[in-house]
Structure 1
Amino acid sequence: MTESKGALRKAALLDAAEEVLVTKGNANAAMRDFAAAAGVRIGHLQHYFPARADLIRAVLERSLERSLTRLNEGTGLNLGAGAAAGLTRDDSRRLLTALLHEHSSLEGVKMHLEIWALAAADQQAASALRSFYAQYAAHVAGVVRRGRPGLPEPELQGVAAAIVSLFEGAAVTRSDIGGLRTEGSDEAIIRAAQWLIHGQ
């Protein structure tokens, strides 16, 4: 099935927004800069994304969707809401290894750092970022629920938030920016996350 012209235009606008965030940074993240990078008028951009926060939210949502698709395809695990119960330690190791790989893209790290910087000064961008992390944590909670089905909901949410924090922090410290990536550190991150998922 081919994508509609509107969907293709929207994707091109999101590609341009990512490019601006990665190469020029949040200082050049005004709507006119995103429009110029996409080669369109500001009115065209605002037809799809009325405000900068709408554009940032869409960039983050697409990033999460792409990551989930790659994780599903790369691990053979169904990470969706209707996934079967049960998650073996081999399953979680495969998933966590793939997730670490997802967090190894310097361009992805740069984009998220720029959005963080933008969100620090812009409440609407901060709202978009919180929405992204809420969705991310909800997916992780689904994985934890499969590993520890009897875990009470408040503890489940806490464990999911801890795993998200572990991997998001690792994305920065393991990148070329932080320089702390070693085989031993990756193994320690996976073991820590497995302990959180399986409770042992």
Structure 2
Amino acid sequence: MPYVESAVRGPQIVAAARAVLIRDGVAKTSLRAVASEAGIPLGTLQHVFPSKQRLLQAVIEQVVDDISEVLRSAADTESGLAHAIAQGLRNFWSTLVEGHRGLQVLQYELVTHALRTPGLEDLARMQYRRYAEVVQQWCTEAADRSHERSAVPYDRLARVLVAAVDGLILQQVSDPDGARSEQDLEAVVQMLVALAAPSPR
């Protein structure tokens, strides 16, 4: 097999690892299974990721990047804070939750794994901080563009939004019901808009 740089192999291996993790779960995923999924020798994988922990760290970082990017692009910040909250949540839900149960289960499994693994605890903290930072950014941007203010600090609004959606996702993957989740999401939107209580500056 021709030599391929680690920078090229890395994304290929992480993509294969995500597929295996979604299919088999963290506990049952082995480096050998990931190598097979990626179509490369085990030794090639171990050259890039010497241990399962290193590979899981890369997967966690990529999942956080992907979800953060969807959060970043989900909101319409041109029409005020209330609209940004509502549209951002609806777009996020339709893009990354509906039809993506495996990804969401994997996300929770990776968080639990990071919290239980010495040396990886910061990854779980980083994950939720990143999500909140992205939401805070588009809430602030939406309010600034419409010359509005929020009744609560934007960092608190963002943390509450992330926590509320996190709970809805966990409920949906545990007890799937699309119609119920859609109604509950709208209730969360209303609660968050009421919490923010946007007003003119």
After TM superposition, the score normalised by the length of structure 2 is 0.72
* 1:17 CA drift (Å): 1.1
Conserved 8 A contact 2:74-2:92: no
Deviation per residue, 1:52-73 (Å, 9 max, x gap) = 4443333233233334444555
Give, as a single letter, the amino acid of the residue that structure 2 aligns with 1:174: Q
Q: 1:196 to 1:18 in 2, by over 3 A?
A: farther
Match for residue 167 of structure 1?
A: 165
Q: Distance in 1 between matches of 2:168 and 2:90?
A: 13
Partner of 2:183: 184
Q: Secondary structure at the match of 1:123?
A: coil
Instruction: Tell me the equivalent position of 1:98.
Output: 91
Contact 2:16 2:34 in 1 (8 A): yes
Q: 1:151 to 1:199 in 2, by over 3 A?
A: closer
Q: Contact conserved, 2:131 with 2:162, CA < 8 A, in 1?
A: yes
What is the CA distance between 1:98 and its match in structure 2?
0.6
If the length of structure 1 is used for normalisation, what is the TM-score? 0.73
Shift of 1:127: 2.5
Code of the residue aligned with 1:161 in structure 2: it is: R
What secondary structure is seen at the aligned counterpart in 2 of 1:26?
coil
Equivalent residue for 1:81?
none
CA separation of 1:97 and 1:132: change in aligned 2, threshold 3 A: same
RMSD in angstroms over aligned alpha carbons?
3.4
8 Å CA contact 2:14–2:59 kept in 1: the answer is yes
Structure 1 counterpart of 2:17: 17
Q: In 2, are the aligned partners of 1:12 and 1:38 still within 8 Å (CA)?
A: yes
Q: Is the 8 A contact 2:31 2:52 kept in 1?
A: yes
1:1-200 paired onto structure 2 within 5 Å = 6-70=6-70, 77=76, 87-101=80-94, 102-104=96-98, 105-146=100-141, 155-175=153-173, 177-181=174-178, 182=180, 183-198=182-197
Q: Which of the two has higher C-alpha Rg?
A: 2
CA distance in 1, matches of 2:74, 2:155: 26
Aligned partners of 1:99, 1:193: CA distance in 2, in Å? Answer: 15
Superposed CA offset, 1:140-182 (max 9, x none): 12123235666699x433332221111112112123x323541
Give structure 1 stretches of 5+ with no counterpart.
Answer: 79-83
Q: Distance in 2 between matches of 1:174 and 1:112?
A: 14
Q: Distance in 2 between matches of 1:6 and 1:103?
A: 32
Identity of matched residues, %: 20
